[in-house]
Each structure stands twice: as structure tokens, then as C-alpha cells.
Amino acid sequence: MGRLLLLSNGHGEDLSGSLLAKALANRGHTVEALPLVGRGQPYRDAGIGLIGGTQEFSTGGLGYTSLRGRMTELIQGQVVYLLRRLVRLLRIGHRYDLVVVVGDVIPVMAAWLCRRPVVTYLVAYSSHYEGRLRLPWPCASCLSSRRFRAIFSRDQCTADDLSDQLTREVRFLGNPFMDPVLADAGRLPATRQRLGLLPGSRRPELEQNLRLLLQMIERLPTELFGEGVLELDLALVASLDDPSLHDLVQPWGWDLAEESDGSGMLLQRGPRHIHVRRGTFAAVLHSSDLLVCMAGTAAEQAVGLARPVLQLAGRGPQFTAGFAEAQRRLLGPTVFCAQGEPGETATLEASAQLAIDLLRRSRLDPDLQRQCQQQALQRLGPAGGGARMAQAISDLVQQPS
């Protein structure tokens, strides 16, 4: 068995990395992780040891998307922090039989520099964006190096494209981040129709996104909120607790109250009620007829479960109009978005109308249902991607260099 280091750079990448790391540990390998951005909480949750202290920044590693973001990262010291993490990697790289990269050009380049055998899962790149993937310099040169023993892509389109570009095999085995939601078939109580709300996980963007989601809900027709007509569920991270949520929504005209049966909490404004769900993210995905998303990985998981997705673009740093447009190219025609500037009244009203239409189609339109199933397999792949990838890596570790 080998000694392996997981190298990742972002919240979604840490999630995939932690799932892959756990699958590798279950096969008897000694596995540690070096997250380059954020605290690496998914690794902690999976019981994977972290190298050195970790730190979270307000941009969540997405400062490159704007000048303001770049300046924020400089002021907060994220660039210096990243350089320190890279120096640490160069110092300890010799301890490991294999470095497993989950991310983009930064960890790819860092892994190449540490002069150890490398396996790469390019979860951050897809040929669906442009039809032909333009890898940033020097990513292609690193991936072509003999140090990179295997390359895995996030979809078959990218595998075919990069195999041609790099003149070496690039494999699509599925996506580890789909495994938890595909395996967890938990369901919420049955109802006629259910609308799931996914505001994302990064704060303070989460709070900004929640405000826009509530404004859109306020524009849905009152008759939808009659007994048993439509249930709304808000998937929230634990970091936004009930007191904070109460203080946040009260100035917006919403109240936070306990469910009548004591099972949880409820956001309410007049006849509009939204169930607050923490720790039941997969159940919200499985149970919803439509997901309104302001998130990255969560939207991918919704598409992977063959659910239609309605985007509601915000002001960032992540879920901007530009990010939403790129996400539609990545995830395909079952992701929808109303036209208009983020947060504008006309955009919110158009989004509410589109939600009504998609809720109807999710139940009555067999073409949409069929398309959702096709896109789930084409864009995200079948269940078991983490296990297949872990086995392929294990096979490589057992081969002579």
C-alpha cells in the first residue's frame, strides 16, 4: 500500500478530494491532504489528516473572477498564504509515493514541481465550455510530463478532447462528488410538488443569495401556497444557525418560527412558508421537482440526479451572471435562467414565472424528463465514480515507477 497526498484548491475540489481520499484509505493506503484554499473541512469530516494549519478567506478562492476579488485576496493575505502552502508542499513532497491532484492549473503545477508521481482529476475543467478546452499555461506541458501517471476528466467530452490534445489517454470514470447524493435516497414527506432552494454555502455571499431567493418567492402566486399545493424547502449549511437566520430575515419582513409538529424551523411571510432544512441536503435534491440554485457543486449534483435547475444569478463573488452563463454551458440544456440584471425587479418576476412553468413541465413534459435523464449521464456520469477512480489509482501505486 502507498503513502498518498491529496492536493486540492477550492470548496468543491475539497469535497471531491475528501471522497476520493476516503475511498483510497479504505483500500489500505495512508492518505493525507494539503488543501490550498480554505479550511479543508470536508477532509476533516472524512477523517483525513491535514498538513499544517488551514485558513479561510472571504473570496473562497474565487478572487480571480474580478479586480475587487484580486485586491481583497491581496489585502487579506491569501496570495502569501498560498505561496506558503506551496513551499510546504515542496518540502514534504518526497515523503509520498503519489500526489493526487483535484483541481486546476495551480495544484497541477505545484505537483509537477514537487517531482513526485502524480495522478490528476481535472474537476475544474470541461470541454463543454467552449467545445475545445484551452488549458492555461503551463497546464498542458505538466499533464504531458511522464510524472503524470494518469489523468481523469469530469465528463466524456473532455476525456475525448484532451486525449487528442495531449496525445495520451485521459479517462472519464465518473465524478466522486455525485456518489453521496446518488447513494443517499432519503426523501422528505410526500407532497404534490416541491421546490428546493439552494443559496450556496459560502458566507457572506450566502446571505446575499438568500435575500434574492426570498424576493423571488414573494413573487410567486399566493394560490400556490394553499394546503398541499407546493412545498418549499431551503437547504442551509449549519454555519447559518437559527439566531443568525432570524436576525437576517426579520428586516426583510420574514419570520422564523418552529414547525407546528416541532420537527424543525419555518420561514414565513403571510401565506408563504419555507421549511428550513439542515443536514438533509441529499433529501432536498431527491425530493424536489425543481431546484433553484445559486451554487456551483450543488447545481451539478442536481443535474446529476436528473432534476431541472433554475439559476438565480447574484452579485458574487461566485454566483454572478457570468458564472451562471458558464455553468449553463457546462451542465447543458436542463439548466435555465431568466434574462435580466441580477436582483432587478423584472429579473425576479421573470424568474418566478419561469419557476412556475418548470414546475409544471417537471411533472407533465416527458421530453424534459427524458432530457434530464440523458444529461445526468452525459454530464456527470453514473454512480460509483469515486470507487472506480480509487481503484485505478491503487492499481497505479502497485505498479513499478
The residue behind cell 473541512 is 41
d(CA 379, CA 143): 23
Q: For residues 45 and 51, what is the distance between their CA atoms, to the nearest angstrom? A: 15
Residues 251 and 318 both lie in one domain: yes
For residue 176, give the C-alpha cell: 466522486
Beta carbons within 10 angstroms of residue 243's beta carbon: 9
- Among 158, 117, 173, 182, smallest CA distance to 387 is for 173
Same domain (yes/no): 307, 350: yes
Cell of 110: 505545484
Q: Which residues pair with 337 in a beta bridge?
A: 311
Instruction: Give the integer Cα–Cα distance in Å for 152 and 120.
Output: 6
Helix (H) or strand (E) holding 34: strand 30-35
199 in the same domain as 168: no
Q: Are residues 215 and 159 in the same domain?
A: no
**3-state DSSP: the chain helix, strand, coil percent, rounded to 5?**
45, 15, 35
Structural element, H or E, at residue 119:
strand 118-122
CATH assignment of the domain containing 68: 3.40.50.2000
Q: Which residues, at least 6 apart from 171, have a Cβ–Cβ distance to it below 8 Å? A: 150, 151, 152, 153, 159, 392
Q: How many CB atoms lie within 10 A of CB 152?
A: 27
Cell for 386?
A: 469515486
What is the pLDDT at residue 261? 85
Domain shared by 352 and 290, yes or no: yes
Do residues 120 and 236 both lie within one domain? no
My answer on whether 11 and 89 are in the same domain is: yes
- Is residue 110 within 8 Å of residue 6, measured between CB atoms? no
Kind of pairing, strands 265-269 and 255-258?
A: antiparallel
My answer on whether 197 and 342 are in the same domain is yes
In angstroms, the CA 259 to CA 247 distance is: 18
Q: Which amino acid is at 185?
A: A
Residue 273, burial from CB neighbour count under 10 angstroms (0-12, 13-18, 19+) = middle
- Number of domains observed in the structure of the chain: 2
Q: Give 56's Cβ-side CA count (13 Å radius).
A: 10
**Do 189 and 335 have their domain in common?**
yes
CA 48 to chain centre: 20
Same domain, 170 and 259: no
Q: Could you tell me if 162 and 153 are in contact, meaning their C-beta atoms sit under 8 angstroms apart?
A: yes
DSSP 313-333: --SSSSS-HHHHHHHHHHH-T
In the DSSP assignment, the letter for residue 381 is -
DSSP state of 268: E
**DSSP string across 213-261:** HHHHHTTS-GGGGSTTT-EEEEEE-TTS-HHHHHHHHGGGT-EEEE-TT
CA-to-CA separations, 216 to 64, 76, 169, in angstroms, rounded = 29, 34, 46
CA atoms within 13 A of residue 352's CA, in its CB half-sphere? 19
User: 389 near 176, Cβ under 8 Å?
Assistant: yes
**Which is nearest to 199 in space by CA: 246, 233, 231, 250?**
233
Same domain (yes/no): 270, 328: yes
Instruction: Say whether 59 sits in a helix, a strand or coil.
Output: coil
Could you tell me which residues are beta bridge partners of residue 7? 34, 101
Check whether residue 251 and residue 319 sit in a common domain. yes
| Per-residue tens of pLDDT for the chain, all 401 residues | 899 999 999 888 999 999 999 999 999 999 999 999 878 889 999 999 999 866 565 544 444 444 455 445 444 456 788 888 899 999 999 999 999 999 999 999 999 999 999 999 999 999 999 999 999 999 999 999 999 999 999 999 999 999 999 999 999 999 999 999 988 777 898 888 999 999 998 888 999 999 999 999 999 999 999 877 899 999 998 889 999 999 999 999 999 999 988 889 999 999 999 999 999 999 999 999 999 999 999 999 999 999 999 999 998 888 999 999 999 999 999 999 999 999 999 999 999 999 999 999 999 999 999 999 999 999 999 999 999 999 999 999 887 65
Which range of residues forms the domain containing residue 39? 3-174+384-397
Query: CA triplet 115, 117, 121: central angle to 5 degrees?
Result: 115
